[in-house]
Amino acid sequence: MKLTGAQALIKSLEHEAVEVMFGLPGGAILPVYDPLIDSSIRHILVRHEQGAGHMAEGYAHATGRPGVAMVTSGPAATNIVTPLCDAYMDSIPIVVITGQVPYANIGTDAFQECDTVGITMPVTKHNWLVTDAQDIPRIVREAFHVATTGRPGPVLVDVPKDIANQQMDWYWPDGVDMPGYKPTTKGHAKQIKDAARLMSQSRRPVIYAGGGILKARAAEVLRELVELTGFPVVTTLMARGSFPDDHELCLGMPGMHGNYTAVTSMQQADLLVALGSRFDDRVTGKVGAFAPEAKIIHVDIDPAELGKVRQPDVPIVGDCRQVIEELVKAVLADKAKHSGDDTQWPSLAEWQTRLRDWQRDFPLVYDQQPDGPLKPQFCVDQLRDHTPDDTIVVAGVGQHQMWTSQRWKFNHPYTFVNSGGLGTMGFAVPAAIGAKVGMPDRMVWAVDGDGCFQMTAQELVTASSERIPVKIAILNNAYLGMVRQWQELFYEERYSEVYLSPDLPDYVMWAEAMGCVGIRVDSPEEVEPAIDKANDIDDRPVVIDFRTDYREKVYPMVPAGHSNDEIILDPAHDTYGER
Amino acid sequence: MSNLGDIQHHIYSITVENKFGVLSRVAGLFARRGFNIVSLAVSPTEDERFSRMTIVVDAASAPLEQVTKQLHKLIPVIKVMELHPDDAVERELMLVTVKAESETRSQITELASIFEARIEDVGFESITIQAAGRPDKLDAMTDLLTPFGIVELQRTGRIALPKLSRRPQRLRAVKTRGV
């Protein structure tokens, strides 16, 4: 069967079971948009290419399936670089298709030409420039394979316009043949046995669960391991929800804005079982002072993560789910072998009691006076308490993101979507749209900051026109809040270029102009009714403008580059003082 | 001229797919991870589907294990070998143009013959020599030529293969990976 390259591309996407793609057409990609009319694939027309990329990410976060975005050449390609980098940092599987000027014109500075493959090389797991239409099915197959296997990540396929118009003989490859790409998924048996051995001798263990748990669909087996061992768990920003927050062994988020117990448990641990986590600087603080007494078991599918920051005592390369399954077996065998020996698998009651004492003594605190200014933490708590348990929560980047991660109770995997590694402001609105498209039956709430919202809000036009009823809660403190917090704490309150104004823009009018329902909330008693009203609206997006107290800061906090032992608690904790 | 032999370095012999853009991926990886390349040589191998890159890296800037692991993450990279200088046959080619007045010309040609180098071009005031050999040999020759006045010098960067085992080994059937 003869097809054009463009037809082959769309057909290949259909063969990859793509149901929806996010994009915006333009000159170089025009040939590919033509056969799209006849395709079963739903296309969502974004208002900015960055939105298409973040929507694909949100879709992938929520569903576990690769998100697909398609845009044209030049400025469209450069606009999608940010989502590519975001997905690269957070290991999100997305497939981006870009148009390119005709192959013969490449290198001539043609209209809307840019070196897309060159620009995106450092921010993709792999990318391809198609030079022959006959290669399209093979490349699409490879692209999806690379994006979704091993350590997932973004890929890009650049399609010159004349290649899209070229004739080819249709085929669909049986599989992929990539000699240089063979991810290891099965952990080394001896290493797993050694890990179990090390675990048996620990008295102050902590499981350090990272985003890899979610990528590997390993939440269930993680729970099995925890209940078998009694080891407490910290869940990183990328792993929130991978272990239920309402479980008594869940300590919550560690790191720069982690809670006291999560941070300090790692500092005082004698063993860290790092599962799909990468010792990010926001978790470790000053690396040399991080968890000084802890031995390390490090499980990751990417061998380059093992020893990159901290040398593990037991490194295990493999898929988290497969390795944890084997680890559970190894622990059971080890326990059986050493039953009756008190030095092996000792009771962790003392350690668990110490952790519970910290949780009691160092809770997250804030003070909402009934007639006082509206506290952002109060808004997050109210949202948490008045939405379904399985609500998908999407955050932007900054104070609101930290409050959301700290205060929400994530009891299910794939309920928290946010930008961790790259810290992309403006992520929330488009990512929420992508998540809702992927999970239409679930309620999707974005908690956003006013600064973030202004970066990508126009995608709510997309949401309105496509009838994607996401809900946005803006914690509007009229500032670039996290920057303000750093200026207050570390730059002698010299507030340089952080004021945004609460009223400019008028968020309610802006929301209404974009086809959403806009609601303003000024005082604590208005919070719950506004949330209830928003929850009842299911035919269009809703935006709530929560006017929050600009003085509120995110605590606890470990200042950048400091040891996690120097954690600063909320000043309301002054009965305990700084440790 | 710095003495390459004194620098603590790693030699990587990397087999890659022989496709456009692969050099850019490898070089880009070194650049963005802050690994300092000392020299680099690329050419197709006996199997034209693959190329071999010989990259010498400054060891101080590049932790061996991270370089190897990061290289493995690149999809067109098939195989990465780290060659210890003691276990590798290394060769490099140098072209050097030296000032050669009538009174010094014979000294230079004598020097060239000691180093088994060839005179490639002769002018009124200078002479171009081609020398091949181990990098330290080229360093030594350069040092000796410097007093005469080096006009131009170009080295290829080293190529290397692992030394062969001296111990007798049982012959094994070797299966080539089906690529």
- Cα–Cα dist A366/A34, whole Å: 55
Residue A568 has what DSSP assignment? B
Question: Which residues of chain B have a Cβ shorter than 8 Å from any chain A Cβ?
Answer: 16-17, 21, 24-25, 28, 32, 65-66, 69-70, 72-78, 177, 179
A205 closest CA partner among A256, A128, A272, A158: A272
Residue A144 amino acid letter: F
A132 at B interface, C-beta within 8 A: no
In the structure, how many helices (H) and strands (E) does chain A have? Answer: 23, 20
- Cα–Cα dist A87/A422, whole Å: 8
- Cα–Cα dist B95/A536, whole Å: 80
* Interface with A, mutate which of B69, B74, B175 (most A CBs under 10 A): B69
**What are the residue numbers of the active site of A?**
49, 111-112, 161, 482
Task: Evaluate if pTM is beyond 0.90.
Answer: yes
> H-helix or E-strand containing A530?
helix A524-536
- Cα–Cα dist A99/A573, whole Å: 56
> H-helix or E-strand containing B125?
none
> Per-residue confidence of chain B (179 residues) as pLDDT tens digits?
344 444 478 899 999 999 889 999 999 998 888 888 889 999 998 898 999 999 998 877 777 788 899 999 999 999 999 888 788 899 999 999 999 998 999 999 999 999 999 999 999 999 999 999 998 999 999 999 999 999 999 999 889 888 887 766 555 544 444 43
B177 to chain A: closest CA residue: A179
From chain A, pick out residues whose CB is under 8 angstroms from the CB of B32: 122
B77 to chain A: closest CA residue: A180
Query: In this structure, how many other beta carbons lie within 10 angstroms of the beta carbon of residue A72?
Result: 25
> Per-residue confidence of chain A (579 residues) as pLDDT tens digits?
999 999 999 999 999 999 999 999 999 999 999 999 999 999 999 999 999 999 999 999 999 999 999 999 999 999 999 999 999 999 999 999 999 999 999 999 999 999 999 999 999 999 999 999 999 999 999 999 999 999 999 999 999 999 999 999 999 999 999 999 999 999 999 999 999 999 999 999 999 999 999 999 999 999 999 999 999 999 999 999 999 999 999 999 999 999 999 999 999 999 999 999 999 999 999 999 999 999 999 999 999 999 999 999 999 999 999 999 999 999 999 999 998 888 999 999 999 999 999 999 999 999 999 999 999 999 999 999 999 999 999 999 999 999 999 999 999 999 999 999 999 999 999 999 999 999 999 999 999 999 999 999 999 999 999 999 999 999 999 999 999 999 999 999 999 999 999 999 999 999 999 999 999 999 999 999 999 999 999 999 999 999 999 999 999 999 999 999 999 998 877 544 443
CA distance from start to end of chain A: 72
- Cα–Cα dist A10/A371, whole Å: 58
Q: Could you check whether the bond before residue B85 is cis, i.e. omega within 30 degrees of 0? A: no
A484 at B interface, C-beta within 8 A: no
Q: Do A179 and B24 touch (CB under 8 A)?
A: no
Shortest Cα distance from A306 to chain B (angstroms)?
9
Structure tokens at A379: 């808004």
B63 to chain A: closest CA residue: A308
Residue A38 amino acid letter: D
The alpha helices in A170-296, defined as continuous H runs, are 189-200, 211-215, 219-229, 260-268, 281-284
Shortest Cα distance from A222 to chain B (angstroms)?
27
Query: In this structure, how many other beta carbons lie within 10 angstroms of the beta carbon of residue B43?
Result: 10
Residue A281 has what DSSP assignment? H
Taking one residue from A and the other from B, the number of pairs with CB-CB distance under 8 angstroms is 36
CB of A90 closer than 8 Å to CB of A211: yes
ipTM computed for the complex: 0.87
Shortest Cα distance from B79 to chain A (angstroms)?
8
> H-helix or E-strand containing A380?
helix A376-385
Structure tokens at A161: 């316009």
Place of tokens 């009838």: A467
A147 to chain B: closest CA residue: B75
A257 at B interface, C-beta within 8 A: no
- Cα–Cα dist A5/A97, whole Å: 13
From chain A, pick out residues whose CB is under 8 angstroms from the CB of B177: 179
Q: Do B66 and A304 touch (CB under 8 A)?
A: yes
Shortest Cα distance from B3 to chain A (angstroms)?
31
pLDDT in tens, A78-92: 999 999 999 999 999
Angle at A457 between CA A549 and CA A415, to 5 degrees: 75
